[in-house]
Amino acid sequence: MKKKKIGLLGGFSYTSTLQYYKKLMEMYYERYQDYYYPELVIYSLDFQRFTDMENERRLEDYKSYIRYGIDNIKRAGADFFAMTANSPHSVLEEIRPELPIPVVSIVDAIAEEVKKQGLKKVLLTGIRYTMQSDFYQKGLAKYGIEVIVPDDAHKDEINDIIFNELCRDIILDDTREKFKKIISAYDAEGVLLCCTELPLLLQQKHYNKPVFDSMDIHCKAIIDYALSDDAI
């Protein structure tokens, strides 16, 4: 079986990048029960620099920094790449025409999964930047799916949970209950965990509506493409 070399653009944060690598290797082994893993390269960006650009809305610098990382991934020999966070997908459609190698988008992967489950209205959770952006609304609207977001106070609470706890690998039961209370306040058929750290806090077993783990869904799409016969 010919496998494509995977490129991961990571570093935002290191915890999610580690989880991506781990999940991809585990998914391969679950399917084939051997160690002929697909080759993989990681280029890790400066998390604080990246976050500063997001918070300050320095979008041209932001796009340039992402392209810089992608160029390094291509030079390392990757056949395609994926970004190990949701927020950089906010500019993906703008930079897509100039990408040097194909990309597997987390937005497309989630839209396909929500559509498969037949849901029409979902709640978006993630870092403040993601919740204030509209790339998920636009991406899922193409599939006939409405995306709603928490109010400003809840956005702040979720953002604090991510940066003050999850990005430092701190997982607390009290925080899980707080997060569940927040998402239960909204009239949605399911919840999108669109920060790749959030699945560390909440899994399907913790909630009575469909939970969409963006990292898990994205990793499945990445490994499917790496092992497919699709042309580069």
Q: Give me the CATH number covering residue 58.
A: 3.40.50.1860
* Model confidence pLDDT, tens digit, residues 4-55: 999 999 998 788 899 899 999 999 999 999 999 999 999 999 999 998 998 8
- Please, what is the average pLDDT of the chain? 94
* Model confidence pLDDT, tens digit, residues 79-123: 999 999 888 999 999 999 999 999 999 999 999 999 999 999 999
| Amino acid (one-letter) located at 185 | A
Give yes or no: residues 85 and 147 share one domain: no
Question: Is 92 inside any structural domain?
Answer: yes
Give yes or no: residues 180 and 98 share one domain: no
Give yes or no: residues 120 and 136 share one domain: yes
pTM recorded for the entire structure:
0.88
Give yes or no: residues 161 and 201 share one domain: yes
Give yes or no: residues 114 and 185 share one domain: yes
Average pLDDT rounded to a whole number, residues 73-81: 97
Give yes or no: residues 118 and 90 share one domain: no
Q: How many domains does the chain have?
A: 2
* Model confidence pLDDT, tens digit, residues 151-162: 999 999 999 999
Give yes or no: residues 12 and 72 share one domain: yes
How far apart are alpha carbons 89 and 74 in whole angstroms? Answer: 18
Residue 194's nearest CA partner among 121, 110, 109, 86 is 86
Give yes or no: residues 81 and 175 share one domain: no
Question: Is 75 inside any structural domain?
Answer: yes
Give yes or no: residues 22 and 97 share one domain: yes
How far apart are alpha carbons 20 and 178 in whole angstroms? Answer: 26
Question: Is 1 inside any structural domain?
Answer: no
Q: Which domain holds residue 11?
A: 6-105+217-227
Question: Is 119 inside any structural domain?
Answer: yes
Give yes or no: residues 32 and 96 share one domain: yes
Q: Which pLDDT value is given to residue 231?
A: 67
Give the model's confidence band at 124: pLDDT under 50 very low, under 70 low, under 90 confident, else very high.
very high
Give yes or no: residues 79 and 143 share one domain: no
3-state helix, strand, coil in the chain (%, to 5): 55, 15, 30
Question: Is 150 inside any structural domain?
Answer: yes
Give yes or no: residues 126 and 80 share one domain: no
